[in-house]
Structure 1
Amino acid sequence: MSEKSTSGKRSAQKSTAGKQPKGGEKAAAQKAGAPRATAPEAGAPAPRLGVFKTYKLYVGGKFPRSEGGRVYEVSDARGEWLANAPRSTRKDARDAVAAARKAFAGWSGATAYNRGQVLYRVAEMLEGRAEQFAREVADAEGLDRDAARAQVDAAVDRWVWYAGWTDKLAQVVGGANPVAGPYFNLSTPEPSGVVAVLAPRGSSLLGLVSVLAPVLATGCTAVVVASEERPLPALSFGEVLATSDVPGGAANILSGRVADLGPTLASHQDVNAIDLTGADGREAVDLEIAAADNLKRVLRPSAPPEDWTTTPGLRRMTSVLETKTVWHPTGSLGVAGSSY
C-alpha cells in the first residue's frame, strides 16, 4: 500500500471521529446507554454542591453532639431523608438538668420586665429566620409553603404573647387575701425551678414554642425533649436562643427517644416539674408515677390533643409556679394615733 493511500485513510478516520450523531443516530446511541454530556458549556459556572446542615443539641448555651455519638435519621412527611439528628442519652439529659439548675438563680433573679425584654428579643431573631423555619416546618409536617409560613408567624406571635406576661403575671395570680384578723396576707407566685418538657410530637415549631415560652416567662429554666419524629425545627430554635440574650442553660434542647429520656427526667431529683405533653398512653402514666418520687409538679397531656392555634390561657404558666404566702400584723391605732 502506498504512503498516499494510507494518509487518505487516516484523514477519513479523523473526519468520521469528529462527526456528531444526528437525529436517529443520536437517539439510538442514547438508547444504547451512551452517557450524556454533563460538562457545563464554555464560560458557564460549574454547578455547586449545597452545604448540608449539621444539627446539634443545645445544652448550657453550647452545641454539643450526643454524648454517645449516636444519630438517627429524620425523614420528611413523604419519607425522604432530611438530616441526621443527635440521639441524646441519659447522660445528655443529666447534663442538661445540671445546666438548667446552674442558670436558674440568674434567670429567676432577673426582674420580670428584663425577662420580658429578653424573650421579646427571641421573637425578633425568630422573625429574622422565618424563611428557614418555614422550609423546615413544611418538610416536617407536609405543609405547603404558605401554610408553613403561617405556622412560623403564629409561633412568633405566641412567643411575643408570653413575653408580655412576664411583668403582669404576679398581679393576676397573686395579691392580697382578705382575712378575719389584724393581718396582711399576701400571696406571691414564684418560679418552681427546673422544668422538664416533652414537646408535642405533631407540631414541630408552634407546639414547641407553646410549651417552652410559658416556662421561661415565669422565671423557670427548661430542659426540652424535641418531637422525636420532627426534631429539626426545635434544634434550629436552639440557634435562635443562642443568638438572643437568653442566658446559657436557661433553655436546653435535646433530641432523641422519649422512651430513653423521659424516665431519666421524670425521676431526676433536681427537676421540679415536668410537662408530659409529648408522652402518650401508658408512657405518660409511667412518667407520672416516676415524677411522684420527689413530688414534682406534673402537667398531664390533654385529651383530646391541644389545638395549638387557639389563644392559650394561663394554665401552662401557673402549673410551674409556686404560691408563697406571707402573714404580717397590721398593728392597731393607739389613743395618740400611733401605729404598729
Structure 2
Amino acid sequence: MNDSRIWMYDRLENGYMRNEFFNGVEEFVNFAKIHPEVMSCEMMHCPCNRQKCKNRAYHDEDTVKEHLCRYGFVPNYYRWHHHGETYIAPEVEHCVNPSSLSQVEHVYDIHEMVNDLYNSVSIGDEPQSPNETAKNLYDMLMAAETEIWKGNSNGHSQLSVVARLLNMKADHRISERCYDDICQLISELLPGENCMTESFYSTKKLIRGLGLPIDKIDCCNNNCMIYWRDDSELQECRFCTHPRFKPSSYRGVKKKKVPWKRMYYFPLTPRLQRLNASIETAKHMRWHEDHIQDGDTMCYPADSPAWKHFDATHPDFAAGFEM
C-alpha cells in the first residue's frame, strides 16, 4: 500500500470533509488529465464507490470530484492503473497488460485473509484426524497457495480467481448457468494442468470453508409465518392453511419438495466473529467506544445520553464490547 495515499480512505472528520481528502482529489484528477490515453475525450473513469461507477463508468472531471466527495474511493484503489499509473506486481518479471491489473493487488492478500479468518485454530503436535474447522482451513490454505496454473504471470491462485468471479457474478447479475459456462471456457483456455473450478457448485464447496453460513427458511406464500424451530415440520400454514410445498406432477416418484416461498437468513454470530478475527476490521468494531466526541456534538449513537445510560445500567453487556 502506498502510505502517501492513506488520505483516500480518510474522507470525513466529525462529519466534515477533511482538507487532505479534498486536496488529494484535486491531485488525483490532475494526474488523470495528463494521461489522455486512458480517457474518453474529456471523460475519465470514475473511481468512486457508487455501484454504477467503480471505474466502469466515464464522467467529466467535475462529476468525478462530486462523486468522490460524496461516495469516496472504491476500496483498495491505491494504485491508479485505470488512470494511467503503471503497476508491475512484486516478484513478477513478465510483461503484464495494465488492462488486466484491476484486481492483481488482491491476489497477494488472499493468504493473509485466510490466516485472519482462522487465526484462532490451533493444531496440536499429536497426530490426529482434523476436525471440520481445521479441515476447512487446510482446504482454503491449499487453494490460496496453489497457482491456477504454473507460471501464470499474475500469480493468481484458485481462491483468488473464484473470489473475483463471484464478485463479477454479483456485480453483473450473472446466472449460474452463465457462470458454469465461463468456468468451462476459462478451463479450456488455460494449460492442461490447471485447477480451475468447473462449475458454480464446486465454487460454493470451496468458498464454504470461509464459514459464513446461510439459512434457507420456508415461508407461507401469503407471508403469514415462517417454518422455523417448533414450526419447521408443519406442512401447511397455521393461519391461512395454505400448503407449504408446491404440488408435484411426478406421481409415485420421490422428488425434492419445492416450497412456495423461501427466505434467506444470514446468521449474525459467525459474521461478527469474522469481523473480529481480522486485525484490520477488529479495530473498527471498537470505534463506538474509542472515538473522541467533539464537545457536546452527537456524531454517533454512542454519544447519546440513552446509549450512555444503557452502558451504565448494564455494565456486563457494555464490557462485552470492550474485550
Q: Which has the higher contact order (CA 8 A, sep 6+)?
A: 1
Give me the TM-score of the superposition, normalised by structure 1. 0.21
More strand by share: 1
